């Protein structure tokens, strides 16, 4: 997304300080799971790469466990990409079930997710989800359950399509993060503010949009990324890459999920004073941009999403050496 929103010195976030304030230490006394347990809800017949990119990025950054809840058709493909992911083939699309079975199948999906939900530190909703009506209906119920359990959510891709058409899923939920690109942001502005995108007063409009959805946090992707929870706004202008291969938004959603979980852990211990959701968004944005820049330096025009993922760990090490 290209944006003419300006990010003057007063808006630019101090991403280095944020990294240092929320990154957990690597200590031998810690056990599996303490560095983050992330779940991605997405993946259907047509789209298997997006949930993989999001889930594997979370692991590459430092989460201990990464789950994917996807359709039965997508599961074998996603499993073949990496044995590191825990894949749950529980979602269904309309074409594979009869109308009279939809109610019972939906109940089974929710019952299965309920067994896991309290274990997760953050949920990523949308990568490769598709727009099948029955599938979206099941995911709506998953999101409602996540809210009941106070699990933070990062919503991207088709998850944003779902939310734009049903704002009640996130309205008034401060643990929700929306990560819209140009077109997704435009649809949100039209839906919530009943207006067109206005980049001349872009920061004010972003604040109004976040406030209008009840205090969710919005990470507006662009030449500079802008983040707002309806009360404050900041920018991340770290140089990224001119190569715009598909899948970078999926890396971002997985990255934000990990940093979000770490920031909330710090907030629970009273170690940070700023909104931890804002901190997680800034850190996720800055790391993706640095990794994309590093990958482009190596691969130039042939840079692919996988190349960026492979640079996540090295980028984080340069920012905060172990």
Which residues participate in the annotated binding site for (6S)-NADPHX?
Answer: 128, 181-187, 250
Interacting residues of 255 by C-beta distance below 8 A, sequence separation 6+: 57, 58, 61, 283, 284, 285, 287, 288, 312
Angle at alpha carbon of residue 309, lines to 304 and 315, rounded to 5°: 120
> Tokens in use for 115?
């067994």
**β partners of residue 154:** 124, 177
Spatial contact of 298 and 310, defined as CB atoms under 8 Å apart: no
Spatial contact of 245 and 304, defined as CB atoms under 8 Å apart: yes
> Tokens in use for 290?
């640095």
Annotated binding site: 128, 181-187, 221-225, 240-250
As a whole number of angstroms, the longest Cα–Cα distance in the chain is: 58
Give the whole-angstrom CA distance, residue 283 versus residue 271.
16
Spatial contact of 154 and 257, defined as CB atoms under 8 Å apart: yes
Give the whole-angstrom CA distance, residue 145 versus residue 117.
8
Annotated binding site for ATP: 221-225, 240-249
């Amino acid at each position: 997304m290209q944006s003419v929103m300006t990010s003057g010195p007063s808006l630019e976030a101090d991403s280095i300080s944020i990294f240092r304030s929320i990154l957990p230490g690597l200590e031998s006394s810690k056990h599996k799971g303490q560095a983050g347990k992330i779940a991605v809800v997405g993946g259907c017949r047509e789209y298997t790469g997006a949930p993989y990119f999001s889930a594997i990025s979370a692991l590459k950054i430092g989460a201990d466990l990464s789950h994917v809840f996807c359709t039965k058709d997508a599961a074998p493909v996603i499993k073949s990409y990496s044995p590191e992911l825990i894949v749950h083939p529980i979602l269904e699309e309309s074409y594979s079930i009869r109308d009279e079975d939809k109610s019972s199948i939906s109940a089974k999906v929710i019952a299965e997710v309920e067994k896991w939900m309290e274990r997760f530190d953050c949920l990523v909703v949308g990568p490769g989800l598709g727009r099948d009506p029955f599938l979206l209906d099941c995911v709506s119920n998953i999101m409602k359950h996540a809210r009941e359990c106070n699990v933070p959510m990062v919503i991207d891709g088709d998850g944003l399509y779902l939310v734009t058409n049903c704002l009640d899923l996130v309205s008034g939920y401060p643990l929700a993060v929306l990560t819209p690109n140009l077109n997704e942001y435009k649809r949100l502005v039209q839906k919530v503010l009943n207006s067109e995108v206005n980049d001349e007063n872009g920061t004010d409009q972003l604040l109004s949009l976040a406030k209008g959805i009840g205090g969710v946090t919005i990470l507006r992707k662009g030449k500079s990324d802008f983040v707002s929870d309806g009360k404050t706004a900041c920018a991340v202008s770290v140089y990224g890459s001119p190569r715009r291969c598909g899948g970078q938004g999926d890396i971002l959603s997985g990255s934000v999920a990990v940093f979000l979980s770490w920031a909330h852990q710090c907030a629970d211990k009273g170690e940070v004073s700023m909104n931890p959701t804002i901190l997680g968004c800034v850190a996720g944005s800055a790391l993706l941009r640095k990794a994309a820049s590093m990958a482009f330096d190596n691969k130039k025009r042939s840079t692919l999403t996988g190349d960026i993922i492979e640079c996540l760990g090295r980028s984080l090490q340069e920012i905060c050496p172990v």
